[in-house]
């Protein structure tokens, strides 16, 4: 299980320190949420943040583009130091071209799907990606409640990956905390994005990350997803 702290929930006034803290605590990559106020109703950060972070961490910088036209921003983020890009299936009529552009830049490529998007859309694109991201909240904001109906979808994406491209990572993003970690890990997610549950706690990021790792070993303690959604 890999942890990708989302800096959307970090204290931007001491961002470098917070990233150093999660790196020391064993984070696997840093998740950078980019929002354009159009694809999602919120604004966040641009390449300048990535450029600054590139100087203070050795961790891979994963850039989640929640923007209407990701192609416009690939070069800027790649030069700034992004190592991988997550682009959305929704609203991209030229997704294959976008993925080829990412690969041409020498970066890892992933496709994200929103909670209302069926997993089957990934079937024809799986050969072109290194990771699949299942959104477990609607994109745009941190600190939202995990949407439980996404759990069976994670299972289906895991099945699709095993069938068509073993080795492709399955990642989840949104509302990931010690309660939801067992559900998503059991469903087949191997990379967990977490913002609030890592940066929002009172006892520091290392303790928070330990809680998530411990929770990932308790996949048998929770009721079945079917029972959960019936509750
Ligand atoms: C939501 C973002 C997430 C967000 C997760 O649009 O893509 O990465 O930061 O935040 P939490 O972990 O607080 O739900
Ligand atoms: Zn994200």
Nearest Cα neighbor of 196 from 8, 33, 42 is 8
The verdict on whether 69 is a catalytic residue reads: no
Measured in angstroms, how far is the CA atom of residue 162 from the centroid of ligand 2? 24
Instruction: Tell whether the torsion through CA atoms of 76, 81, 87 and 93 is positive or negative.
Output: positive
Query: 69-92: per-residue pLDDT in tens?
Result: 999 999 999 999 999 999 999 999
Nearest Cα neighbor of 195 from 120, 122, 126, 141 is 141
Q: How confident is the model at residue 93 (pLDDT cuts 50, 70, 90)?
A: very high
Atom of ligand 1 nearest to the CA of 138: 6
Give how far the C-alpha of residue 18 lies from the chain's centroid of Cα atoms, to the nearest Å: 18
Q: Does residue 159 register a pLDDT over 50?
A: yes
To test the pocket of ligand 1, the residue of 32, 173, 215 to mutate (highest count of ligand atoms within 8 Å of its CB) is 173
Q: Can you spell out the DSSP letters for 77-144? A: HHHHT--EEEEESTT-TTHHHHHHHHHHTT-EEEEEE-TTS-GGGGTTTGGG-SEEEEESS-TT-SSP
* Strand duo 169-173 + 191-194: pairing: parallel
Q: Does residue 60 register a pLDDT over 90?
A: yes
The predicted pLDDT at position 227 comes to: 46
The predicted pLDDT at position 230 comes to: 42
Give how far the C-alpha of residue 54 lies from the chain's centroid of Cα atoms, to the nearest Å: 19
pLDDT, average across residues 14-24 = 98
pLDDT, average across residues 100-115 = 98
Q: Does residue 154 register a pLDDT over 50?
A: yes
List pocket residues of ligand 1, CB cut-off 6 Å.
6, 8-9, 31, 33, 64, 137, 139-144, 173-176, 193-197
Query: Global pTM?
Result: 0.95
Nearest Cα neighbor of 31 from 5, 67, 52 is 5
Quote the CA–CA distance of 151 and 128 in Å, as a whole number: 24
């Amino acid at each position: 299980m890999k942890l990708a702290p989302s800096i959307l929930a970090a204290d931007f006034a001491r961002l470098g320190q917070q990233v150093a803290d999660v790196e020391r605590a064993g984070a696997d990559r840093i998740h950078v949420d980019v929002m354009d106020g159009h694809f999602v109703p919120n604004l966040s950060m641009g390449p300048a943040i990535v450029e600054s972070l590139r100087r203070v961490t050795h961790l891979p910088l994963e850039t989640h583009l929640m923007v209407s036209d990701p192609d416009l921003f690939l070069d800027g983020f790649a030069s700034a130091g992004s190592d991988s890009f997550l682009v959305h299936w929704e609203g991209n009529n030229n997704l294959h071209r976008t993925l080829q552009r990412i690969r041409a830049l020498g970066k890892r490529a992933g496709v994200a799907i929103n909670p209302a998007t069926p997993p089957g859309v990934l079937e024809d694109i799986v050969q072109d990606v290194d990771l699949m991201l299942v959104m477990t909240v609607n994109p745009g904001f941190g600190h939202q409640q995990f949407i439980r109906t996404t759990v069976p979808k994670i299972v289906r994406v895991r099945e699709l990956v095993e069938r068509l491209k073993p080795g492709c990572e399955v990642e989840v993003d949104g509302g990931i905390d010690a309660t939801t970690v067992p559900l998503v890990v059991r469903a087949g997610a191997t990379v967990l994005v977490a913002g609030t549950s890592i940066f929002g706690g009172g006892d520091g990021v290392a303790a928070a990350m330990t809680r998530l790792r411990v929770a990932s070993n308790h996949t048998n303690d929770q009721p079945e997803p079917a029972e959960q959604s019936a509750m």
